[in-house]
Amino acid sequence: MLLLVGLGNPGAKYAGNRHNIGFMAVDALARAYALGPWRKKFRSDVAEGSIDGVRVLAMKPRTFYNDSGHAVAEAARFYKIAANDIVVFYDEIDLAPGRFRMKTGGGAAGNNGIRSIAAWYDDDNFRRARLGTGHPGHADLVQGHVLSDFPKAEREWVHKLLDAVVKAAPLLVHGEDDKYQAEVMRLAPAEKSGGRAKPQLDNDGD
**Could you give the residue numbers annotated as active site?**
19
* SS3 assignment, position 120: helix
User: Residue 172's Cα: distance from chain center in Å?
Assistant: 13
Identify whether the C-beta of residue 8 lies closer than 8 Å to the C-beta of residue 19: yes
User: Cis peptide before 170, with omega less than 30 degrees from 0?
Assistant: no
Q: Report the alpha-carbon distance of residue 148 to residue 194 in Å, rounded.
A: 16
Q: Report the alpha-carbon distance of residue 198 to residue 159 in Å, rounded.
A: 23
Q: Report the alpha-carbon distance of residue 37 to residue 15 in Å, rounded.
A: 19
Beta bridge partners of residue 100, listed in sequence order: 131
